[in-house]
Amino acid sequence: MRRRAPLLPLIALLALAGCDQSMQDQPSIKPYEATAMWPDGTPERGLPDGVVTRGASAALAALSEPPPVSEALLARGRRDFDDFCAPCHGYAGDGDGIVVQRGFPPPPSYHSDRLRAAPASHFVDVITNGYGAMYAYSDRVAPEDRWAITAYIRALQTSRDTALAAVPDAAEALQ
């Protein structure tokens, strides 16, 4: 028994050799992990040409049919507008956002007569397909959210285009 004791540390050392990082870095690929499996080195595979994604018809339906306007829809629209549009269009839609101040071509104000008269579907269309120097936002803004943003733009427009007579208690507001 005593003679075998020096073997123990040796066995322990051999056991250590069994340790590796294969649990840490498993063969499965996590999102954005570099991989040699494809020549471009990324696991994010685009869709092959002609593929219709699951939910594509639901997305199309959501695009053609405006949802009912509610307080919640407007709140969501405001959040998305502030994150995705305000950097260029400004928080009030004047077209003077911070990125424009740094040299981006200025977009038109939402408070112009032309954009006030434009149908809501025009805004949804601009978000979906882009317009001139403005890129499409279809990769970032879901179809339902495009209507929410449009509803909020309408609210912005209304805020500048309301006659005093339409707000009967405006006179008392200052008292």
Partner 1 sequence: MAQIFRPGADTYARMVLLSIVLLPTLAIFLTYLVMRSSTVTGQDFVLHQWPPFSHAHHAGELGIGCRMCHNSVEKAASAGMPSTHVCMTCHSQIWTNAPMLAPVRESLADDKPLHWTRVNDLPDYVYFDHSVHVNNGVGCSTCHGPVDTMPLMRQAAPLTMGWCLDCHRSPEKFVRPTDKIYDFDWQPPADQEEKGKRLLVQYHIETSHLTDCSVCHR
Q: Which is nearer to ligand HEC, 56 or 133 (CB)?
A: 133
**Residue 156 binds to ligand HEC (criterion: CB under 6 A):** no
* DSSP-assigned letters across all residues of 72-140: HHHHHHHHHIIIIIHHHH-TTSSS--HHHHTTPPPPPPTTSHHHHHS-HHHHHHHHHH-BTTBPP-TTT
- Contact set with partner 1 (CB under 8 A): 23-26, 28, 30-34, 40-42, 44, 82-84, 87, 98-99, 102-105, 133-135, 137, 139-140
Rounded to the nearest whole angstrom, what is the least distance from the CB of residue 1 to ligand HEC in the complex? 33
* Contact of residue 152 among ligand HEC, partner 1, none (CB under 5-8 Å per partner type): none
**Residue 105 binds to ligand HEC (criterion: CB under 6 A):** yes
Which residues, listed in sequence order, are joined to residue 131 by a DSSP beta bridge?
A: 134
